Structures are given as C-alpha cells and as structure tokens.
Structure 1
Amino acid sequence: MALRVTFVAAARSSPLLAERFDDDRPLDRAGWDEVLRVTGVLLPLAAAELRYCSPTPRSRATGDAIGVSPLAQPALRECDMGRWRGLTLGEAMAREPAAVDAWLADPRTAPHGGESLLAFITRVGGWLDTRPGGDGDRIVAVAEPSVIRAALVHVLKAPPSTYWNLDVRPLSTSTVTGRAGRWNLRLEGAGTGPV
C-alpha cells in the first residue's frame, strides 16, 4: 500500500484572464457559488487522515467550505513572482516583454527577482515527498492550480516545460499515490471509485 494524496484546486477569486501572480484575494461570489455546488461531491475528502492547504485565503476558504479544515503549509505557496507580484501575465508582458519571454522559455531563470519555475517545482515536490503517514493513509491538499501543476510535473518526472501544458481548473481534483520518488498519477471518473 501507499499514501494517497488528493489535490483539490482552490475555487476562483477572479475571471481566468484577470488572474494575478501571487494573488492573495479571497473567493469572489462566483467562487463561493462554485464551492457550494460541489460541496457534496468533495465532502468525503474530509475523512482524510491529514488535511492541508496553500496559505492563500481562497485555498483556506475552499478547504473550510468542503469540510476539510486544512492546516496551511508554507511549502504549498504559489511561486514567488518577485516584482511581478500582483500583475497579470499581460501586464508583466507589457512592462517587460523580454523578461517574460525568458521566464517562459527557461525554467531556471527568475528575471522577476523571485523564484524560478524549476525552484518552485522542486519546492512543491519536496513537500510531497516528505508527507508523513502510513500505508493506505489518505491526505487532502487544497492548493492553487499553479501549485498542483508543479506537483504533477514532479510526480510524472516530466521536464519543467510540461508545467505550461497542464490545465488545472478550479475545484478539480488530482490524486497521486505512492511515496517519495515513486508517485503515480491516478485518473478516476464516474463509477471508478472515490475522488
């Protein structure tokens, strides 16, 4: 047996095109409505032995709304975007187009003065690899979509550029099973088992 970690993507706090780097805004009305619609489906996750969340207001609120009452984990914070914090991708591109191009092309660079994509993936992967628990223990982590994308790149041992090809929607779940260095992505659907 192995650990079972289910990531739940936090509900949204803004329309997709208005998302900002390191966004600490709380859930907006649409986000609350989305959480209320799926609470019944996600409620079984509250039975997990360990329950965590990103330290953002919307991750904590999402976790509380689905009955998880998570413990905030600093390692699950979003990528440190340095001087781009609070900007949309479009705003950063308008101010520093060459820097944004370099950041998107090379996962080792951090032209914004914050954390590189590679360092972010490594941090989130390190958190996942150090989860305590025994065989068969269930863990739930409510996190920002960017954090879940970083975790999935780590789990799949994929090149960092894969991060840009993963689409994690608000309130979606992603389950990984295993333990440090031996993770598997588990895809489930209706009729194939619990989320």
Structure 2
Amino acid sequence: MGAPADAVVTGPAGAVADVPSVTPLDRPGRAVEHRGMHVRVTFIAAARCSSLLAERFDDDRPLDQAGWDEVQLVAPALIPYAAAELRYCSPAPRSRATGDALGLGPLVQLALRDCDMGRWRGLTLGEAMAREPAAVDAWLADPRTAPHGGESLLTFVGRVGEWLDTRPADDGGRIVAVAEPSVVRAALVYVLRAPLATYWNIDVRPLSTTAVTGWAGRWNLRFDGAFPQPLRP
C-alpha cells in the first residue's frame, strides 16, 4: 500500500508524525489462543509487476516479462517452501502468479489483500499529491485517517495482524504466504508491536522472504541467514 518505503519515509514537512505508540494488538478484547502452540509463517513478497513503471497504490497489474524473469531466477531457492503444510497468497494477480510459478498452489486469502486506497487506487503518490495535496499530507501524518475513502493504516495493519493471529496453531506447523510488499510491512509492524509510523521506514523488496514464529499474540521476527529453511519450525 501507498508509497514505496524508499520514496516516502516521513510525514509532511519532512518529519515523521507524532502518533501514539499503539498498534492494533493493544486494542482491548483480543483473545490469545493456543498459547504455546508454535507455528512458523514465512511471507514471500510478490514479484514486481513492472520494473519500468512507477509504483501505484493498490496495484492490480499482472507480472510483466521482467517480473517473470525474476521469479525464474530465484525459483530454485524458493521452491522448497512448497513443502509447507499451508500455502496462501493475496488475491492480487502478481501474488497469485508468483505463488503458482514457485509451485506453491496457494489458496487465496482476501485478508492478505493490499490496503484499500479508495479513490487513489491505481494512482502514484505523485499523482495523488497533485490532485489532493492536503489529503495526502493528512494521510501521511496520521495513520488513523483514510482521506481517500478506503482503509486507514491502522485498519490495514490490524487486518493483516488478525489474519496472522487466526492461523491454525499446530505445533511446529509451517505456513507460507505470498503477498504484496506492503502486506509484509504491515505484518512486521504488527509482529513487533511497533508504532504505526514505523511502516514508512520498512523496505521490503520483491521476492524477499520474512519469517515470523510464535502464536496468536506472541510473535517473533526470525532471521535464518541467506538461504530459505522452511523445514525447521
């Protein structure tokens, strides 16, 4: 969702907005279930849909030839993830195509869709700024607002976190999910219980992998090194 992490990392006037250090995980009423049932979820960021065109909000373009070439290049390293018991993807064309190209045969999950950007869908950040500069400034400054008429950053992170917390909690279970880089960024904010403004400072590259382990309400970010290790929880 939104601007690429390497393009916009601050709010208006070049300063990160002063927002409360609260994430959707802190909201009352969230039940922590299956405590002690250890699962591993590996996110694979979908391949880029265009290496030449600007990144667009809520982009539903399919993979172009460059995207397919990149998938084929990294496929030998990522195909082992097909051994995971549960394999998911977002409904976006590039996520489905990435999952299929890696032999995952993933099940589409609506909860893994990109942020609903309302009337800004399909626009670049520059185009949205040219049309509604005040609205873009408000959106960058306050993660609780949705001046475009879609989802706020708060709602988006909460949706992705809810999906993560409701995964089947079989001890040692392995789950793989292919989704847009923005979804992976949202998951990281949720897992780390980071301030929502942290979202703008996370850069997730296409076809990168990010693993988290734990259970509902208790997740850890995991680094395994340079090579995928899907067989170890």
TM-based fold match above 0.5: yes
Residue 133 of structure 1 deviates from its aligned partner by 3.5
Q: 1:63 aligns with which of 87, 96, 99?
A: 99
Residue 147 of structure 1 deviates from its aligned partner by 0.5
Aligned mates of 2:215, 2:175 — CA distance in 1: 12
Change in CA separation of 1:153 and 1:97 when aligned onto 2, cut-off 3 Å: same
> How many residues are matched?
194
Residue 45 of structure 1 deviates from its aligned partner by 0.2
Code of the residue aligned with 1:160 in structure 2: it is L
SS in 1 for 2:214: strand
Partner in structure 2 of residue 42 of structure 1: 78
Aligned mates of 2:140, 2:53 — CA distance in 1: 18
Aligned mates of 1:121, 1:186 — CA distance in 2: 19
SS in 1 for 2:169: coil
Residue 194 of structure 1 deviates from its aligned partner by 1.3
Partner in structure 1 of residue 195 of structure 2: 159
Change in CA separation of 1:17 and 1:105 when aligned onto 2, cut-off 3 Å: farther
SS in 1 for 2:87: strand
Q: Contact 2:38/2:169 (CA < 8 Å) preserved in 1?
A: no
Partner in structure 1 of residue 90 of structure 2: 54
Regions of 4+ moved over 3 Å:
none
SS in 1 for 2:224: coil
Q: 1:129 aligns with which of 142, 165, 180?
A: 165
Kindly indicate which of the two structures has a greater share of residues assigned to helix.
1
Aligned mates of 2:53, 2:199 — CA distance in 1: 18
CA RMSD of the aligned region, Å? 1.3
5+ residue gaps, structure 1? none
Residue 17 of structure 1 deviates from its aligned partner by 6.1
Deviations 1:87-131 (A, max 9, x none): 011100111111111101100000001100000000000000000
1:105 partnered with 2:141 = yes
Code of the residue aligned with 1:189 in structure 2: it is G
Aligned mates of 1:90, 1:136 — CA distance in 2: 45
Aligned mates of 2:182, 2:226 — CA distance in 1: 25
Aligned mates of 1:180, 1:13 — CA distance in 2: 32
Q: Computing the radius of gyration over CA atoms, which structure comes out larger, 1 or 2?
A: 2
Aligned mates of 1:181, 1:109 — CA distance in 2: 25
Residue 19 of structure 1 deviates from its aligned partner by 1.1
Partner in structure 2 of residue 11 of structure 1: 47
Q: Contact 2:51/2:66 (CA < 8 Å) preserved in 1?
A: no
Code of the residue aligned with 2:47 in structure 1: it is A
Partner in structure 2 of residue 172 of structure 1: 208
Aligned mates of 2:224, 2:189 — CA distance in 1: 19
Residue 16 of structure 1 deviates from its aligned partner by 7.3
Aligned mates of 2:52, 2:106 — CA distance in 1: 25
Partner in structure 2 of residue 141 of structure 1: 177
Aligned mates of 1:178, 1:158 — CA distance in 2: 17
Q: Contact 2:91/2:110 (CA < 8 Å) preserved in 1?
A: yes
How many percent of aligned residue pairs carry the same amino acid?
78
Map 1:71-86 to 2 at 5 A.
71-86=107-122
Aligned mates of 2:168, 2:114 — CA distance in 1: 22
